Amino acid sequence: MFQSPGVKIEVINTGTELLLGNTLNTHGAWFGRELFQLGLRISRQTTVPDGDAIREALAESLVRADAVIVTGGLGPTSDDLTREITAEVLGLELITDEAALRSLEGFFTSRGRTMVAANLKQALCPVGADILPNANGTAPGIYVPPRLNGRSNAAVFLLPGPPRELYPMFHAEVPPRLRALSGVEKINEALVLKFTGVGESDFHHGIDARLSEIPGLEYGYCAHIGEVDLRLIGDAEAIREAREITLAHFEPHLISENGASLEKTVVRLLKQRGMTLATAESCTGGLISNRITNVPGSSEVFTHGYVTYANEAKRAMLGVPAADLETHGAVSEQVARAMAEGALRESGAGIAVAVTGIAGPGGGTEEKPVGTAWCGLAVKGGETRTFKFYHPRGRKDFKQSVSQSALEAVRRRLKEL
C-alpha cells in the first residue's frame, strides 16, 4: 500500500559528468533520506546534462510538482545556466542581488584573490526570489516561492552541485520552507527488516495479503544477492503489527531489524558470545574476511583469514590431507571439512568457516557444475558441519553469493550457542 505524500517534490540533478559516468551521483539517496526525516518523499528524480536540457526538465516538473529542487549549474562558467534557464522558464527578470555581490567580493578578498568578471553572474537572482547564502563556496542558492510568477504554483530551490556546498545549504535553508509548504505535522516511522535465505516470492505468498490489510502501512521489498529487505513505513502501531506478522513466518531468516548487514550482525553475535572467528577461503579469494573486517570493531573477534586458492596452500597452511584432494577433489565435502578444522586448529579461534567452489566459467563437470561450492563450519568443542551451495552466476556474483551463504551459516550457528 502506498501513502501519497502531502506535497509532491521533484529533484533535477544537472551535470553532464553525471551522465558520462565520470562522477557518481550520490544526491538521489541523500535527498531521499533527508526528506523522509521531514515526513516528505521524492515523487520523481531526473538527471540531465548541462545546458538546454535543464529547460525541458524544469518545465515538465513545474507542471507536476509542488516543489522542485534543482542541483548544479550555478557556477561562473559558460555551461552553468541553471539560474538563467529558471528565470526564463518562470518568466522572471534577473537582477543583481547586492548582498550576494558583497558576499562574493568578500569571499575572494578574504583569500587574497581577484574576482574575475565571470563570477558576477553568480550574484544574479530572479526578481522576488530569496538568495540562499553559501558559506562553503562562491555560488549562492536561490529560492523562488510559489505563485511568484504566473506560470507555476511550484516552489523552486536552486542549490549548488558539490556535496560540500549543497548539504550545508540544504540543512540551513530548505527544511523550514518545505515544512511551511507541506504542513506535515506527523512524521511516519520506518523499519527495515533484512532477511537472507528467502526470496521476494516467499513474502508475496506468505504475508502480502495480511500486510495489505493493515491501515496506514506502506511496505515494499528490495532484493540483493542473497538478501531481501522488507521496508515498513507508517505509525508505530502499524509497524508493530506488520513486524509481528512478518517474524511469525520468517524470523529464522532475519539478519537484522535496523538495516545492519549480515557481516555486522555476525560481528555483533561474536562479541555477545565472547568468541573469535577465522576464515579459510578458496573460491571467494578473501571476500568473507574482507566483509568481516569492513565492520568497525571486528579486530576484537576476527583472528585469521587464510586464502588457500591452490591445493598446495590447502595442504601447507591448513593441513588438508593430500588423499582427500586427490580422491575427492578440491571442491568437495571432505576438503571443506578439513579446511574448516585446519583453520580452527591453526588459528586458535572459537569458530572457523571454510569455502571451496567452482567460480567458472570453466572447470565444471556434470557431477560438479560451475556454481557448486562446499562450506565447512567448525566450532571449538563442537561438531563440524558441512553445507553444499549452488550459485550458478558470473564470477563476481558467485563469490558474493558464496560469501553470503557462508556468513549466514556462521550466523545461524552462533544463534545456537
Domains of the chain: 9-182 (3.40.980.10), 189-256 (3.30.70.2860), 263-416 (3.90.950.20)
CB 46 within 8 A of CB 11: yes
Express as a percent the part of the chain with pLDDT over 90. 73
Contacts of 393 (CB under 8 A, 6+ apart): 371, 401
Which pLDDT tens digit goes with each residue over 232-289? Answer: 989 999 999 999 999 999 999 999 998 899 999 999 999 999 999 999 999 999 999 9
347 has a pLDDT exceeding 80: yes
- Cα(44)–Cα(244) distance, integer angstroms: 32
List for the chain the helix, strand, coil content (%; round to 5): 45, 25, 35
Q: Where does the pLDDT of residue 4 fall: very low under 50, low under 70, confident under 90, or very high at 90 and above?
A: very low
Contacts of 351 (CB under 8 A, 6+ apart): 270, 275, 276, 277, 278, 344, 377, 378, 379, 380, 410, 413, 414
Which string of b and e fits 300-315 if b means at least 16 CB within 10 Å? ebbbbbbbbeebeebb
Instruction: Name 215's bridge partners.
Output: none
- Cα(335)–Cα(108) distance, integer angstroms: 67
Q: So what's the pLDDT on residue 412?
A: 96
Residues 299-323: what's their mean pLDDT?
A: 98
Which pLDDT tens digit goes with each residue over 12-65? Answer: 999 999 999 888 888 989 999 899 888 888 999 999 998 889 999 999 999 999
- Cα(233)–Cα(1) distance, integer angstroms: 10
How many Å separate Cα 118 from the centre of its chain?
38
Contacts of 183 (CB under 8 A, 6+ apart): 6
- Cα(141)–Cα(94) distance, integer angstroms: 14
